[in-house]
Amino acid sequence: MKKNKSKEAILKTLIYSDIFDYPLTRQEIQKWVIQYNNLTIDQFNNELKKIKNIQIKNGYYFLKGRDNIVSLRKQREKYSQGKLAIALKAASLLKIIPSIRLIGITGALAMNNTKKDDDIDLFIITKKNLLWTTRFLATIILELAGLRRHPEVAIASDKICLNMFMDEEFLEIPEKERDLFSAHEVLQMKSIMNKNNTYYKFLLANSWVKKYLPNAFDEEIKKMEIEKLRVKNKKNLTILNILEALLKRFQLWYMHKHRTSEVIRQGMIRFHPQDARKWILDRYHNSPLDKPFSIF
């Protein structure tokens, strides 16, 4: 029996979103459809009606028997509104750091899908050669404001987790992490501060995501208004280079005893006590629905 690639792509998209208890609207399925972009709107709507393992409620599509996640999404959207206000407050404080080029919301809050006790993940891109200096200053500011999440605290509701920093010269996600999980993280990130067209540069540097989420990539690129004005990059003063080296050494020494699944490489640091990539992708690939002919 010949595979129907369009139906398979739609089902895979709902399987992935189901991992997060997140039903999708028709427009969201079209945006986040996995590894497929050859359908017209009419064809898409026709295919959607034919898949036996999905249901619809209040305009949301989900896997059969999972109608409870519609009300759950609504509840989490309410929690997310309060956390968004906190994220914006944190960003307004961090904006005083001149070396910050971009602040983005990542994780569950980026999709308005937070639980009540969730923390708030922020992603920061820094000026060239000032990654560690920026992280040090950002940590101090959030600590003084009472907003910083401490790594030893298991539940840190409404606290800010500065879980990833990138240097503007090193915007590519590491090759070994280029998968569906990372593609989603890149494209669902919500930019709340963007200098020098950094968000656009970040998307272009990670155009590999189009392999997994072609429609989402195209939509985000089209949204961007490219600034034509060239921004002249001033050379860092020697004192800043020295400070960066000292602060990098100090922070690596301090964090050594707290290391878990974090990633540290040139131009990027990511600190998160639990890397969700493995269990999410395992659950996605091992779904009993993701088998030949199961969508018919």
3-class DSSP state for residue 110?
Answer: helix
Q: Check residue 225 and give its pLDDT.
A: 55
Query: E-strand spans in 184-251?
Result: 190-194
> What's the pLDDT tens digit per position in 176-235?
999 999 999 999 999 999 998 999 999 999 999 999 999 999 999 988 755 444 444 555
Domain boundaries, the chain: 74-212+238-272
DSSP for 10-69, please give it.
HHHHHHHHHHTT--B-HHHHHHH-TT-----HHHHHHHHHH-TTEEEETTEEEETT-THH
Mean pLDDT check: name the lowest of 25-34, 41-50, 74-83, 218-227.
218-227
Which pLDDT score is estimated for 2?
Answer: 44
Select 74-212+238-272's CATH number: 3.30.460.10, 3.20.20.70, 1.10.10.10, 3.40.50.170: 3.30.460.10
Enter the pTM of the model.
Answer: 0.84
Query: Which pLDDT score, from 0 to 100, does residue 290 have?
Result: 57
pLDDT tens string 125-164: 999 999 999 999 999 999 999 999 987 777 889 999 998 9
Buried b / exposed e along 257-289 (16+ C-beta atoms within 10 A):
eeeeebeeeebbbbbbbeeeeeebbeebeebee
Residues 12-28: what's their mean pLDDT?
96
